[in-house]
Amino acid sequence: ADRRLVAGAVVTLDASWGRFAGEYLINQARHNKRRSSGTTADIEIRRVTPAPVPPIPTLAGEPAQSSTEATA
């Protein structure tokens, strides 16, 4: 387990995580050593940045716009 995973740290999940991408604050971390699985970390996290907004589908040839542009 990564010893940098401690309460108060912020972790970033990249775009490959889809709707879960973003920054998360670690509320609690427990590091455990087990013979069967080695060292593991159990963490409790909460999102600190909003989820990414997917682009709004458009007709062919038109530029895509985000939902924030569509409501402005």
Q: Is residue 68 part of a domain?
A: no
Whether 62 is covered by a domain: the verdict is no
Banded pLDDT at 69 (limits 50, 70, 90): low
Nearest 5°: phi and psi at 30?
Answer: -125, 125
Mean pLDDT of 12-31: 93
Range of the domain at 8: 1-51
70 within a domain of the structure (yes/no): no
Its pTM stands at 0.62
Task: With respect to residue 3, please indicate whether it lies within any of the assigned structural domains.
Answer: yes
CA distance 53 to 61: 21
**Domain count for the chain:** 1
Is position 71 within any domain?
no
Is residue 65 a part of any domain in this protein? no
* Tens digits of residue pLDDT in 32-67: 998 888 888 899 999 998 777 777 887 776 665 655
